């Protein structure tokens, strides 16, 4: 009997995913010169493309060249050449998977040493104790900046479609800009973008409308949404349910559920909610709750590494299983599952008491594996978290020098393109 994991999924746009396993977005931090994808990202996505997943979602591609989470971010805007992106799309699709681009604006989650802008719905900075100084202090966005950012999302989506991608995923989770607008803790505005949830969701809904209008009908449009922020008084599962209902009439194909932010890194397996602690599928309880009423197909990501867990996710009413770290250590895991195999490969656990450093080290461990695979190597499961973190910091310093040199000239080109 064929596992439901390997049954196709037809989306509203008419797009058919060949199976129910997705490679979820992981921020690769591997942009080449000009903040463009280069042969390393192409090699990495060819590897995943041949691994058996039905859908590949890229790490976040930034819609604003002056607003990156870190210096290794890929940028796609009105002034970007499309050829490298066409090659990236082709590499991901080479094994039969659909290839979607995750599109994003970091808002206030920008490293302090980065040039450019640090924006938020309000001037509320990232608060993570003694590590707070690692992030820039945000300024509250003016209405014209909000409207220009909505247009930037649409431009990036339209150009992704032209480059040959099959869809985009709008990132409204993990504490990035659209998630910040949704959060009552971060969004303290008193205008049409603040206050009740319908106002806090306005920017996300406007982005979805603008993106859907800018791309062909058969092009998939998805949203990544927190099931909860895991902060007292923050965005919660009832808010998520209401936002999904607001998205339903706008032509959205799929909502991916995750959780947390830099302030509460639940997506790294450290949720503050006791119901989800120590589970393999971190957000399954909340996703099961939302799936009972969701008018849209749902995808769940967060800690899934085993086939029986993935099948339980589908049995609980979720339509698509997303995996990140599992495919950083076993890029062909879906193919192994199809063949009835599947090794339980894992990275070294990060057990540090400082949850901010632990989350950073966990991300560094994953990126270390991505870089190895991009060079044609194999994942190194024995890498020590401290070594990975130091290595990542050295890479970031080199990238920052290059980004600082590139941005002033790029900004002038982009000002002309915007007009």
The domains of the chain are located at 4-345
CB 240 within 8 A of CB 290: yes
pLDDT, residue 222, reads 98
Tokens 């040199």 identify what position? Answer: 405
Instruction: Point out the least confidently predicted range of 103-107, 138-142, 383-387.
Output: 383-387
pLDDT band (50, 70, 90) for residue 26: very high
For residue 32 the two structure tokens come to 């080449």
Q: Residue range 140-146: average pLDDT?
A: 98
pLDDT, residue 286, reads 85
pLDDT, residue 34, reads 96
pLDDT, tens only, 70-91: 999 999 999 999 999 999 999 9
Tokens 């991916």 identify what position? Answer: 256
Q: How far apart are CA 67 and CA 257, in angstroms?
A: 24
Phi/psi for 226 (5° steps) reads: -70, 135
pTM: 0.94
CB 15 within 8 A of CB 98: yes
β-strands 16-17, 9-10 pairing: antiparallel
pLDDT, tens only, 376-391: 999 998 899 999 999 9
pLDDT, tens only, 227-251: 876 777 778 889 999 999 999 999 9
Q: Which helix (H) or strand (E) holds 119?
A: strand 119-120
Mean pLDDT, the chain, rounded, equals 91
- 4-345 is a CATH 3.20.20.70 domain: yes
The larger pLDDT score, comparing residue 265 to residue 127, is at 127
Provide the 10 A C-beta neighbour count for residue 103: 25
Quote the percentage of the chain above a pLDDT of 90.
77
pLDDT, residue 270, reads 43
The widest CA-to-CA distance across the chain, in whole angstroms, is 59
CB 34 within 8 A of CB 71: no
pLDDT, tens only, 285-338: 888 999 999 999 999 998 899 999 999 999 999 999 999 999 999 999 999 999
pLDDT band (50, 70, 90) for residue 343: low
Q: Is the pLDDT of residue 271 over 50?
A: no
CB 53 within 8 A of CB 97: yes
Q: How far apart are CA 50 and CA 11, in angstroms?
A: 22
Q: Residue range 204-208: average pLDDT?
A: 98
β-strands 16-17, 320-323 pairing: unpaired
pLDDT, residue 412, reads 72
pLDDT, residue 355, reads 84
């Amino acid at each position: 009997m064929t596992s439901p994991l390997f049954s196709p999924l037809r989306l509203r746009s008419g797009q058919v995913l060949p199976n129910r396993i997705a490679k979820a977005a992981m921020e690769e931090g591997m942009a080449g010169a000009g903040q463009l994808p280069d042969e390393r990202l192409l090699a990495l996505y060819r590897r995943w493309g041949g691994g058996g997943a039905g859908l590949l979602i890229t790490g976040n591609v930034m819609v604003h060249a002056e607003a990156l989470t870190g210096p290794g971010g890929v940028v796609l805007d009105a002034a970007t050449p499309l050829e490298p992106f066409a090659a990236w799309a082709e590499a991901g699709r080479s094994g039969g998977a659909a290839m979607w681009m995750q599109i994003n604006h970091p808002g206030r989650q920008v490293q302090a040493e980065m040039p450019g802008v640090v924006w938020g719905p309000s001037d509320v900075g990232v608060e993570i104790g003694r590590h707070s100084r690692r992030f820039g202090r945000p300024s509250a966005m003016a209405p014209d900046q909000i409207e220009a950012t909505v247009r930037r999302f649409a431009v990036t989506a339209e150009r992704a479609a032209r480059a040959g991608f099959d869809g985009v995923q709008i990132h409204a989770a993990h504490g990035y800009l659209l998630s910040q607008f949704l959060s009552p803790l971060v969004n303290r505005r008193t205008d049409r973008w603040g206050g009740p949830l319908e106002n806090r969701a306005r920017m996300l809904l406007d982005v979805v409308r603008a993106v859907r209008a800018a791309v062909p009908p058969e092009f998939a449009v998805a949203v990544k949404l927190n099931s909860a922020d895991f902060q007292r008084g923050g965005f919660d599962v009832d808010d998520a349910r209401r936002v999904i209902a607001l998205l339903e009439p706008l032509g959205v194909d799929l909502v991916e559920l995750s959780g947390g932010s830099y302030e509460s890194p639940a997506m790294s397996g450290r949720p503050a909610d006791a119901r989800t602690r120590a589970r393999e599928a971190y957000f399954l309880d909340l996703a099961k709750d939302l799936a009972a009423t969701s008018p849209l197909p749902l995808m769940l990501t967060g800690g899934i590494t085993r086939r029986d867990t993935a099948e339980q996710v589908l049995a609980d009413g979720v339509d698509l299983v997303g995996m990140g770290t599992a495919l950083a250590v076993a890029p062909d895991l879906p193919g192994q599952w199809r063949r009835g195999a599947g090794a339980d490969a894992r990275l070294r656990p990060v057990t540090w008491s400082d949850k901010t450093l632990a989350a950073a080290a966990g991300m560094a461990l994953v990126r270390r594996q991505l870089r190895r695979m991009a060079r044609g190597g194999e994942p190194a499961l024995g890498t020590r978290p401290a070594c990975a973190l130091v290595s990542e910091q050295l890479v970031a310093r080199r990238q920052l020098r290059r980004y600082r040199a590139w941005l002033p000239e790029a900004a002038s080109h982009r000002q002309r393109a915007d007009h």
